[in-house]
A and B are shown apart, each in its own frame.
Chain A
Amino acid sequence: MPPITLLRPIHTLEQTPLDVALEPTALDMRLLTHRISAGFPSPATDYMEDGLDLNDYLVRNKPATFLFTVKGDSMIGASIEADDKVVVDRARTPKHGDIVVAVVDGEYTLKRLYKRPPRVELHAENPAYSPIVFRDGNELVVWGVVVGMVRRYNAKG
């Protein structure tokens, strides 16, 4: 079935001049509200800076940075608790002592990297968890290096 074409303008009368007449703001005059300084410019102008942005502080490399929500208590010794958000930078090369997001048995795990060849281990910061040890044929997959953490108090979610 060919499309029906209806090219009749609709509601032309909606735009009668009457509308304008009844609208007092149409006659509003705008007053300039800025002050135009006639004297010397403020000496502080050259020292003006933008406010602080937490993104700048936490995120070094935007395209490589991801956030994760922490679950569980395996890192409480490093002051990382459940529901904290960790900032993970994939561009960093993981070093001994870094806190990393690793993939173990298809799950993400947050641990401190212990790397003193030939020993490669993931350590929890909680005595209730034992280290995860990687032996030959059992390769450690690091997803990214934790470079920051954020927590909100008294806030839901």
Chain B
Amino acid sequence: MATPQFALVDVNNFYVSCERVFNPRLEGVPMVVLSNNDGCAVARSNEVKALGVKMGTPWFKMQDLARTHGIQAYSSNYTLYGDLSSRVVRILQAFSPDLEVYSIDESFVRIETVAHLHGGGVAMGHAMKQRIKQWTGLPVCVGIGPTKTLAKFANHLAKKNAVFDGVCDLHALPKAQRLEWMQGIEVGEVWGVGSRLAKRLGAMHIHSVLDLRNASPQHMRTHFGVVMQRTCNELRGVSCLALEDVVQPKQQIMSSRSFGAPVESLQELHEAVATYVARAAVKLREQRSEAGAVHVSIRTNQFKENQVQYNAAITVALPDATSDTLALTRAASQGLAAIYRAGYEYKKAGVMLLLLRDQHARQAVLFDNLVQREKSSKLMAVMDAINVEFGRDTIRASASGTQQRWSARCDNRSPRYTTRWDELPKVY
């Protein structure tokens, strides 16, 4: 069997690049995309990175810098990012069906059986990069190696070093040169190592990627466990991690958000919680699961130190697992009522659906109400269909309220250019 060859294709500054596709004026302008509720920078343009702004910096902390350098801040537009992301995946699938979508902006592609059609790994990498740029407007970097860990590493090199022109096939380099690159990069950059482990490795005189590659896998296993042993082997070109093409159903589903404005009343908290339940329940039904329990949490703003703090959470077990929004909302409301205390300014609420299981793997319950159950699943199917057709939250449980003053802030979100008729880009 041929040696595996993995390509990691990763969109550069993904959210920022998405914004630029539809707003040519943003090209070359320093800009960030902020997290939900306009809190922290979750994507930075190269111009902003060059100013030393770190990932996750709160927006209020860069106000001065923003004023001096004219940094533009955009609220996150996940509808747009999701659409462009799926376009990139479709383009890659045409290159090779053997693909793992690793995150919204990166995919692993197995290329050993098709690379020769393009004239080798590097040429194929350039073909993917060129096509994604032309078809979607998004710039990508491609890293290629015989293992996923090495493909990640190659991608890092391609991104940081102009000599690669965005595509690095590690094993197309002469060995001496490959090892030299490994020596030049800190071990913390290796996929799955991170800064905490890098510190511990440092204490054992393992500082560079090369040091870890040259360490004994057995030794790494004794000190750090099987994951580090695998990483070490992967750096040596022994593929231990396969493509994960099957998405495992989630074991729990979260929906939580900070409020745009502080919330005090039980009624408003209740609306927020009901909305989060509804969102989580849609995901639950999408993966054909049912939840056996609902976890509800509320908290005040922990960053306001002069304010009285309160946070609480509760898990409410359901008599019978369900995917019915109304039943889940009822359970969540009961939990909320049990933990709510008046007189606090709440900043955040969250809902987690737990004890998930397959819809069909149901245990009979003594007093199971089959009629009720069938009605409920029909109602949910209709509700989901209408919300897909007419936009999220067209139909919802009345508990969600209609005002939603607590709804997250997204003051500067760009239009949903690719998914809404009334928000299409305009051309003159």
Do A and B come from the same complex? yes
Q: A9-B319, A64-B136 are in contact. Are A4 and B312 (CB under 8 A)?
A: yes
B418 CB–A CB distance under 8 Å? yes
Listed stretches A39-47, A49-57, A83-91, A112-120; interface member = A83-91
Closest chain-A Cβ to B106's Cβ sits at a distance in Å of 17
Q: Is the CB of A69 within 8 A of B425?
A: yes
A35 CB–B CB distance under 8 Å? no
List of B residues within 8 angstroms of A4 by Cβ: 312-314, 338-339
Q: A15-B368, A71-B428, A107-B428 are in contact. Are A63 and B135 (CB under 8 A)?
A: yes
A12 CB–B CB distance under 8 Å? yes
Contact with A along B303-320 (1 / 0, CB 8 A): 000000001111111111
List of A residues within 8 angstroms of B330 by Cβ: 10-11
Contact with B along A55-77 (1 / 0, CB 8 A): 00000011110111111101000
In this complex, the member of B318, B370, B427 whose beta carbon has the largest number of chain A beta carbons within 10 angstroms is B427
Closest chain-B Cβ to A97's Cβ sits at a distance in Å of 18
A71: which of B293, B315, B427 is its contact (CB, 8 Å)? B427
List of B residues within 8 angstroms of A66 by Cβ: 417-418, 425
- Tell me how many residue pairs across A and B have CB atoms closer than 8 Å: 120
B334 CB–A CB distance under 8 Å? yes
B315: which of A5, A15, A69 is its contact (CB, 8 Å)? A5
Contact with A along B79-92 (1 / 0, CB 8 A): 00000000110110
List of B residues within 8 angstroms of A72 by Cβ: 428
Contact with A along B16-27 (1 / 0, CB 8 A): 000000001100
Looking across the interface, which residue of chain B has its beta carbon closest to that of A5? Answer: B315
Q: Is the interface of A mostly helix, strand, loop or mixed?
A: mixed
Which B389-428 residues sit within 8 Å CB-CB of chain A?
417-418, 421-422, 424-428
List of B residues within 8 angstroms of A109 by Cβ: 427-428
Q: Is the CB of B368 within 8 A of A90?
A: no
Q: Is the CB of A11 within 8 A of B319?
A: yes
Q: How far is the CA of A157 from the CA of B312 in the complex (A)?
A: 47
A137 CB–B CB distance under 8 Å? no
Q: How far is the CA of A72 from the CA of B428 in the complex (A)?
A: 6
B331 CB–A CB distance under 8 Å? yes
Looking across the interface, which residue of chain B has its beta carbon closest to that of A68? Answer: B427
Closest chain-B Cβ to A128's Cβ sits at a distance in Å of 13
Q: Is the CB of A10 within 8 A of B421?
A: no
Q: How far is the CA of A67 from the CA of B372 in the complex (A)?
A: 44
Q: Is the CB of B137 within 8 A of A90?
A: yes
Looking across the interface, which residue of chain B has its beta carbon closest to that of A108? Answer: B427
B367 CB–A CB distance under 8 Å? yes
Q: Is the CB of A3 within 8 A of B312?
A: yes
B371 CB–A CB distance under 8 Å? yes
Q: A15-B319, A69-B424 are in contact. Are A63 and B91 (CB under 8 A)?
A: yes
B→A interface (CB under 8 Å): 24-25, 87-88, 90-91, 134-137, 293, 297, 311-320, 330-331, 334-335, 338-339, 365, 367-372, 417-418, 421-422, 424-428
Q: Could you list 26 A-B pairs, sorted by A, with CB under 8 Å?
A: A1-B311, A3-B297, A3-B314, A4-B312, A5-B314, A6-B315, A6-B338, A7-B315, A15-B367, A15-B368, A19-B371, A20-B371, A26-B371, A63-B87, A63-B90, A64-B91, A64-B134, A67-B424, A68-B424, A69-B427, A74-B428, A85-B421, A90-B136, A107-B428, A108-B426, A157-B421
A→B interface (CB under 8 Å): 1, 3-12, 14-17, 19-20, 23, 25-26, 61-64, 66-72, 74, 85-86, 90-91, 101, 103, 106-110, 141, 143, 157
The 3 residue pairs across chains A and B that have the minimum distance between CB atoms = A64-B135, A3-B313, A106-B25
